[in-house]
């Protein structure tokens, strides 16, 4: 009998940037997210990507569409989380939320404070909408990786360690990680046998 395959997962990626969406420069957020997630996850991934300007109605529409229509299990945004007037990604994310998950934003800022004192200006949030987890990430590729993966050499947990179990709890697929990149944490009774 053949071994069961890994659960497929549908992931939505949203890069929020006035300049990248208008072609002033190349978007680096979505490629950075895809590169990290392909290394971190053992599951087959179906991607849904959106590159949009810093406009709250468009961000809200993209998030609703990715969760409600495209049926994404996980949606990650990058950009638009600072204090500038055009930064409205957190407001858009909260506007479509069923539940707020404040621990993700707290940990992201804690990780970033290891590098820059301005991390306290970041307003990233995470929410549950339907059966999906939606997380706002920083805009810089280096910061995206640090936030997701953490600083293992300093004993600082990345936020992605908690993502698979959160998705379990909201009825999503069983995400399996490459422990060389990030070790997913689950209580013992929620762990499937190793393959």
User: Over the stretch 125-159, which tens digit does the pLDDT of each residue have?
Assistant: 999 999 999 999 998 888 999 999 998 888 888 99
CATH of the domain at 59: 3.40.980.10
Q: Please tell me the distance from the alpha carbon of residue 148 to that of residue 20, in angstroms, as a whole number.
A: 23
Is residue 3 pLDDT above 60, yes or no?
no
Is 4 a member of any domain?
A: no
Confidence of residue 4 (pLDDT cuts 50, 70, 90): low
Report the chain's terminal Cα–Cα distance, integer Å. 14
Looking at the domain assignment, is residue 125 inside a domain?
A: yes
pLDDT of residue 95: 98
pTM for this model (two decimals): 0.94
Q: Mean pLDDT across the chain, nearest whole number?
A: 93
Count: domains in the chain: 1
């Amino acid at each position: 009998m053949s071994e069961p395959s890994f659960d497929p997962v549908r992931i939505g990626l949203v890069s929020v940037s006035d300049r990248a969406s208008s072609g002033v420069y190349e978007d680096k957020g979505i490629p950075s997210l895809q590169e990290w997630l392909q290394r971190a996850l053992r599951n087959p991934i179906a991607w849904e990507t959106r590159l949009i300007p810093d406009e709250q109605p468009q961000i809200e529409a993209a998030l609703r569409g990715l969760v409600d229509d495209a049926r994404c299990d996980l949606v990650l945004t990058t950009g638009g989380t600072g204090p500038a007037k055009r930064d409205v990604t957190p407001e858009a994310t909260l506007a479509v939320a069923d539940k707020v998950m404040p621990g993700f934003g707290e940990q992201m800022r804690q990780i970033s404070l290891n590098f820059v004192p301005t991390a306290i200006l970041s307003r990233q949030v995470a929410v549950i909408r339907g059966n999906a987890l939606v997380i706002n990430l920083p805009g810089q590729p280096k910061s995206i990786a640090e936030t997701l993966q953490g600083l293992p050499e300093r004993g600082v947990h990345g936020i992605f360690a908690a993502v698979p179990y959160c998705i379990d709890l909201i009825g999503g697929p069983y995400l399996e990680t490459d422990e060389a990149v990030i070790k997913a944490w689950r209580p013992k009774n929620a762990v499937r046998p190793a393959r």
